[in-house]
Every structure is written in structure tokens, then in C-alpha cells.
Structure 1
């Protein structure tokens, strides 16, 4: 594949230039996620319907490995492969001051359906882009094992909390990553940039007429509603969309041992009850007589099969004694009537991701040993079984990254950077922000959480690792930076083509 000289000095990027030999192998890979608005809408609706039931059902994504990876220092300082560069963050939130670390508005969770058919999530962040539409996360949270294979129903939810999407849902359109990760599953390139469509939110179902339903270009569905026979007759006269199911059929008398037989009680007079035999069977006694206390007017007006008392007893109570026999029946059926109610799904366009929550900057070819703050939604238990995190809210670690690169043979890693941190799986894909400004809640993404390790072998995660953000990352980022996406829904909530 022929390579070109691609400047990064666009849309607020630094003046760094990526120089590649004309015959060099590609460093980046691009795969489609859900570029069509109709597919994107369906994916978002899948996650949002039933008040976010699928979102709450999802579990943290974890690598399928029984052993905690072993880290081996390579002794290398992770020499840059080009000039250092960075692009500044997009800032929307108002600056705030706090003695504690203020959580960025840009971070959230990505959700997807894994190759196991189950729903999973990772951590991620919005980043600066010329189209304000990029998400940074780990490559393993986008690209499944196998060449050119991406996860299904991929979305990003900034500010996610317990099934809620406060700033809307952003569906992935195109995914970019290192060529070697996409092709060879090489975790030295375990990062990804995903271009997302405009975000949107779903409103409550809106009931409409059949004419409005037919003309609606967005999501729509018909809900059957049960009605009475009288309502059904009126509906038919008015040529409405109604129908019936089943038929009226009385129950048949059967023996008590007949499969599915149902026991009912039949009230009889005292003589019939006395004449009936005890035991289980058709027409036999149904338990003991039942004495009912009633008011004097009820007692005086009663003309049923029960036996009235002679008058008030010593306590002034009036009673009626009821007698029952058994009736064993095969249940009958009844005809049911339904009418069609028409509903449409009205959605609200939330705009571009970067315009809504801002975007972190991106830095590459920086020296190792940077002071960073890492964010994520940890949820996995530690190897000793202790579950220190719930995954419901974001957590953070702060410190300096390793000054030498690390090798992790289990995942073909030759050069990763590491950070002392106790966050566990679920934090995968969360950003490592250098030069973090606590008042503006912004910094520069210089890594994303990839792997977890127990370096002192006490069965507790104490270290996380990330791909080193070098010139290859900048090359992939530059490609993603040009990706154009669009709105999924129009001003009236209709689905766009």
C-alpha cells in the first residue's frame, strides 16, 4: 500500500508531521461499525428500550484468560519514533475547583454485543477531533478476535450511570486501530479511535392515528389492546383495526384425575350437601359448611341456597351457612377481542459528541515517566476474590508511568507503559490523561488501559498497562480525525436516510 506524507496541522492539531516511507506497510486499519442511520438507530433503540434494560444487563468486558499476565521490564525507555506532538482538548464544561479529582464529563462506557452473544461494556472517553465525533478506548473493546471483525451494536454513553444516558447515546460508525492489532491481534497496538454519529435520546412512546402512523418515517410499532365484546362491535361498525381470537366454549365435566382438571365449588342446599358423600370426586362434599356473618338487612333479604340462622345469636350476630359440593371440569375457553393502537418513537438529536461533553486532547511521542490520571469503571474482582469495585461509577488512579517499557508475552506485547493502580477489569479502555487540569477537567490522552497485573504476587491487581502512544498512534488518530459522521434523526424526531 502506497504511503503519503500526512500533516497533522489541521483543525487545531499540532504542526507535527508523520513521515512514512512510500513503500511502508500500513500502520492503521479501518472497519465499519454502523455507518447507516437506520442501523445506528436500531442499535441505540436496542440499548435504550425498556428504560435501558440492556444497558443494566451488560457486564464488564474481560479478557478470556485464567492467569494474570506477567510483566517483564525490557529495559527500554520506549524511544519515540518521531517528533513529540499533541492536540489540545475541546472544553465545554465550566471550570470548577475542588481539592478532590474532578471527574471529566468526557468519560463514559462503550457497550457492545460480544462474540459470546452477551452484552458487555468497557471504559472510554471523548477526544478532540475536527468533526467533534471521536471516542478513544482500548482496541480489544472494539475489535473481536479475528481479522476485520468488530463487535455488534457498539455505542458510547458519556456520563453513564445505572442505566441512564444523561447526554444521549452515540453510535459507532467507523473504527480505527493499529494494523497489527486488527490483523495479528498484537496488543502493542491495543487502542482504538471510533467516529460516532450525533447522539440522540428517546422520548416516551407517542400514540398516534393510523394516518399519522403510516406517514411516520421513524421507528414505529403496533400494540394490541384487549377490549370488550361491546367495544369490538363498535370498532367493527366504525371499520377500525380490531380482531378477535379464540372462541367461547364451556368447560366439560371430567373426573378428578383427568389431566388439567380444575376443581370448582358449587353451592347447594343443606339436604343436597348432607346426601353427598365425602372424599374426592364429582358431586362430593367440598369441605365443611361455611358460616358467614352478615348484617341484619342482608340476613332478612337473603333468598339463596344457604341456611339462614333463626335470628341474632347471643352476641347479636346474624349468620348464613353455605354448603358446597365439588365440580371437576376441563377449563373452557372464551373469545378475546383486541384493537390495534399505533405508536411512534420520537427521538431528540443531541448534536455532536464534542459539542455536548467536550473532548480530551491527545499526545504522542512523549517521554515515559509522565504524571497521569487514569480513569475507568472497574468492576472485576481481584484475583483473591475481593470485589472492591461495582462498575457503577468511575474511579481514578494518579501517578507517574513507568520510565521503561514492559513486555507481556501472553498478549504479544513488547513495549507497554505501566502505572501503579488497583483498578480492575471494567476499567479497560479508560483514558490516561497527562497534564490533567482539575479545574477544567481536561488533559491529554497519552494511553488507554489495556492489561492488569499483580506484580508482587499477593493476588491483588496493583498495576495497569497501556500501549505507548507513539507516531503509529498519531497516524491512526490522524486518519480517524477526518472521519465524517452525521445526525441519525431529524428535527421532528424522524429517522434520516
Structure 2
């Protein structure tokens, strides 16, 4: 997709492209849609939560090539970037009970972002919720959202606040719109390696229930038809009432007519053309009930190679329609009997991100050499192969940032701020918080972990760096601040349009 440079109003996010005259200065920011519709957001969350969170467990930390872990040197520019007056937005105070690690109370706002790259690999980075107009912003590293190469943004992008040992205690939030620096977007300039992502309301799956065929047809959320085993007596009653039921044997039986004494019917999936050509009524090869429509995720829809037909409805749901015909066989003792169980999945809306976990403040044009607390989920080994972190639980570093800005030519870095810290990849995107209150668990975001460095040459990370948060960061934040997002599911768990 082509990246959009889009203007915002105070009431809504516009999807109109911004035309910039050749003589005009380049804009300071750029934006991409991630999953703008609730249907796509639902599909992304379902991708990560289905099969008991198998995709979450499969993910690995964003991979930093050890050759990219390099030294940085003091920039030739001014020690303190001169970019206007300091500014800030206060955090949303929220101090619920949380985990304590070595006398540091972990903020509820931090978590992991999960995404799929253009190779189909599952990865995570670190991130935090921040204060915003619509209580829906996540801050992370730009390279944890925007991908190099033919694809602009990662697929299936979601934020899991409070992620701890494989659990999502406050739900999952699907990314809707991503904002970053124009120079990162255009030139891969890591002085702009930050991103703000507006996310839809969070939700959790709250189980499922069996419903009538009529209620199943009306349901706009996740739904599926599964086989539920019944007794032979229930099967006979079902067939007398023209219900959707069938038998299945573990051994082959001879085909018979439907009037054969005790004959039972099996269902056989066929292509839509064979179904349409089949007769109505009771007999070998006749139609077996109405076609069954199954709601699936986008990835399941893309991968499907079966006999059913694929389609999308007006709400953006991905559908597979299955067709069945009858197969009548002799009765046998080695048979089981089934009926169609029409099942719907119930989703629970958790509201905007900021209402669930609060949001850190944000500050820009601040003096260097201040104390910061940095959080993240490191998991990458050090360059020498030593694996000091698991990536399962959050870690932290504390100290004063360097009093000078640093540069790294490989990534076009000229004004990074640095901190002594041994966290490795996977911690990228984690927040650098000024004036962090251990009691309130809030502070002011003044950086995000961007790069990892080995200053003493012993093949161990000993320094991390972040873009200096200047007026350009404030400009991008202000644009993201107006992005409106939506609930994904309604009060009854139904998928919203």
C-alpha cells in the first residue's frame, strides 16, 4: 500500500491524501492505516488469541543483527538541541495494583506490540499507553510499526498492555492508524525512530454458546458450525423433524436407498456446482440442508483450499460457505450420530485503552542529563550469544541520560540520547520516562528505545539510545492525538460495522 500523508481535523481522521507543492517544505509526519475498520481489527485480535493464544506464544522478539550493535560517538552538533521551548502533556493518573520487581512498581501502561512481517514471521516489541485526546494512543519505536521494503507497515499489529508470562490481563487492542516522522518513513532516518499508534477499543473473548439457526444467521460476530454427537434416538427424532443431523461410521457400509429398513444418512461436502445440480428431497446425492456459512479470520480465508466458496460480506467479515449432499447407507452397530451445533463467539468490549490502563504523559525539548526509568521486554541474546533475558517478563533500567547527543552513521543518527543499560532486542520501543513516580506508576515519555550499542567492545550491550524528543516529535504526537477509533464489538459481543 502507498503511505498516506493525511490531514486531521479536531473531530475525525481524514483519509484524504495531502498534496504538497514542490516548493513547500516536507511535512514533519507521515501516517499509515493498520486496520481501520472494526472488522479488520477483530480479525487481527482473533489471529493472536485463537487456539488459546498459539500465535502469541510463537512470536519472538524483533531481531537485531549483531553486526548492527555498534558503537556510537558524540555528535558534532550542539550538546543540547535547540528546538524551541520545552513542553509536556501530563499523564492520566491511574495506580492499580501491579507487579513489583526489585522495588520498582511496573506501570500498567507498558506491554508488548505483536505483528507479522513480510516473511510471515511473528515478532514483538515493547510499548506503552500514553495520554491522548481519545485515550487510545500507544508509543513505540518506529521500526516496530513501519517495515522496510515493499510493505509499509507490519500486518496483524496489536498492543497487549500488562503482558506478563503469556497472559493478556487487560485485553488486546488492534492498531488502527500509525504516525511517525516523515524522515523515518522516507529515508529510514533513525533520528525519527518513534511511532504513535491509535488503537481501537480493547476486547477479550468471553466464551461461546450454542444458538438457534435463526440467531446464528443474524449474528455479525465470530460464529461457526460444529458437529455435536447425539444418540441414535435423538438422530431418529431429528430426521423425522427434518433437522440437520447425520451419521458417521468407522467402517464402510453399502449404499442403500433412503427407504431401506433402518437406513441412515451421512453428509458429504461437495463443490457449489455439484450442490446446485443436486435434487431436493430424500435420496442418494440429494441436497443435505442449506449451505453452511462459516466466519473465519483473514489468514484462514487466504489459506483455505477446500471445496467451499470464499466471500466477504458488507461488514467486512471473511466467509467460507460449505455445501453438502446426502449419502444413505445400511445401519450398523459401529456408527455415531451428529447434529449441527450453531455456535457464536462472544466478545467483551473493554473500552478505550486509556480507561483500562491509564496513559503516561509526554515531554519534549527537555534538557539532557536527566534521570529516566526505562522499561521493556528484552529477549535477544547479546552479540557474543549470551542470552541474559527471556522476553517473558518486563525489565527496567534507571539512570541519567548522557549530557551530549550521539550519532551512528549507519542509521543516519545525529541526535540520539543515550543511557547505560544492558537490555537487548525486544526491549526496543520501550518507554523512557522522566520523573517516574513509583507510587503512581506514571511519568513523562521522553524517548523510546531505538538502538543497542556495545561501547567497550566486549560483545555485550552496555548502552541503549533513543531519538531526542524535540518539536518534531510533538508535532507528530499532536497529529496522532486527533485520531479517532472505534469499539470492535457491541454490548452483546456482536461485531460492529
Which residue number corresponds to residue 79 of structure 1? 81
Which residue number corresponds to residue 353 of structure 1? 353
Alpha-carbon distance between aligned partners in 2 of 1:183 and 1:235, rounded to the nearest angstrom: 64
CA contact (8 A) 1:435 1:444 kept: yes
Which residue number corresponds to residue 137 of structure 1? 140
Which residue number corresponds to residue 88 of structure 1? 90
Which residue number corresponds to residue 482 of structure 1? 482
Aligned-partner SS, 2:198: strand
Which residue number corresponds to residue 456 of structure 1? 456
Q: Deviations over 1:151-195 (max 9, x none)?
A: 111110100123221111111000000011111211111000000
CA contact (8 A) 2:94 2:441 kept: no
Alpha-carbon distance between aligned partners in 2 of 1:111 and 1:232, rounded to the nearest angstrom: 46
1:67–1:149 distance in 2 versus 1, CA, 3 Å: closer
Q: Deviations over 1:94-129 (max 9, x none)?
A: 599988221111000001111220111110000010
Alpha-carbon distance between aligned partners in 1 of 2:188 and 2:182, rounded to the nearest angstrom: 9
Q: Deviations over 1:350-379 (max 9, x none)?
A: 111111111000011112112100000011
Alpha-carbon distance between aligned partners in 1 of 2:203 and 2:108, rounded to the nearest angstrom: 17
Once the 2 structures are TM-superposed, how far is the Cα of residue 220 of structure 1 from its aligned partner?
A: 0.6
Once the 2 structures are TM-superposed, how far is the Cα of residue 6 of structure 1 from its aligned partner?
A: 11
1:5-154 matches, within 5 Å, as: 23-64=24-65, 66-76=67-77, 77-94=79-96, 100-146=103-149, 149-154=152-157
Aligned-partner SS, 2:386: coil
1:334–1:95 distance in 2 versus 1, CA, 3 Å: closer
Alpha-carbon distance between aligned partners in 1 of 2:233 and 2:250, rounded to the nearest angstrom: 16
What residue ranges of structure 2 are gaps of 5+ in the alignment? Answer: 12-22, 255-332
Which residue number corresponds to residue 309 of structure 2? none
1:139–1:446 distance in 2 versus 1, CA, 3 Å: same
CA contact (8 A) 1:92 1:356 kept: no
Alpha-carbon distance between aligned partners in 2 of 1:409 and 1:449, rounded to the nearest angstrom: 18
Residue 223, structure 1, aligned to residue 226, structure 2: yes
Alpha-carbon distance between aligned partners in 1 of 2:419 and 2:250, rounded to the nearest angstrom: 70
Q: Deviations over 1:302-342 (max 9, x none)?
A: xxxxxxxxxxxxxxxxxxxxxxxxxxxxxxx9776532211
Which residue number corresponds to residue 397 of structure 2? 397
Alpha-carbon distance between aligned partners in 2 of 1:231 and 1:65, rounded to the nearest angstrom: 64
1:65–1:240 distance in 2 versus 1, CA, 3 Å: farther
Q: Deviations over 1:210-234 (max 9, x none)?
A: 2221121211111123556555433
Structure 1 residue ranges, 4+ long, deviating more than 4 angstroms after superposition:
5-8, 94-99, 226-231, 244-248, 333-337
1:147–1:182 distance in 2 versus 1, CA, 3 Å: farther
What TM-score do the two structures reach when normalised by structure 2?
Answer: 0.76
Q: Which has more radius of gyration?
A: 1
Aligned-partner SS, 1:346: strand
Once the 2 structures are TM-superposed, how far is the Cα of residue 47 of structure 1 from its aligned partner?
A: 0.9
| Length, aligned pairs only | 403
Residue 211, structure 1, aligned to residue 214, structure 2: yes
Alpha-carbon distance between aligned partners in 2 of 1:123 and 1:450, rounded to the nearest angstrom: 11
Aligned-partner SS, 2:414: strand
Alpha-carbon distance between aligned partners in 1 of 2:9 and 2:47, rounded to the nearest angstrom: 39
What residue ranges of structure 1 are gaps of 5+ in the alignment? Answer: 11-21, 252-332
Which residue number corresponds to residue 470 of structure 2? 470
Alpha-carbon distance between aligned partners in 1 of 2:234 and 2:53, rounded to the nearest angstrom: 35
Which residue number corresponds to residue 197 of structure 1? 200
Which residue number corresponds to residue 173 of structure 1? 176
Once the 2 structures are TM-superposed, how far is the Cα of residue 383 of structure 1 from its aligned partner?
A: 1.7
Alpha-carbon distance between aligned partners in 1 of 2:219 and 2:253, rounded to the nearest angstrom: 44
1:96–1:168 distance in 2 versus 1, CA, 3 Å: closer
CA contact (8 A) 2:9 2:482 kept: no
Alpha-carbon distance between aligned partners in 1 of 2:363 and 2:464, rounded to the nearest angstrom: 19
Alpha-carbon distance between aligned partners in 1 of 2:95 and 2:486, rounded to the nearest angstrom: 23
Alpha-carbon distance between aligned partners in 2 of 1:207 and 1:184, rounded to the nearest angstrom: 53
Q: 1:158 aligns with which of 136, 161, 173?
A: 161
Name whichever of 23-32 and 88-97 sits farther off: 88-97
1:413-428 matches, within 5 Å, as: 413-428=413-428
Aligned-partner SS, 1:176: strand
Q: Deviations over 1:422-454 (max 9, x none)?
A: 111110100000111111111110000011111
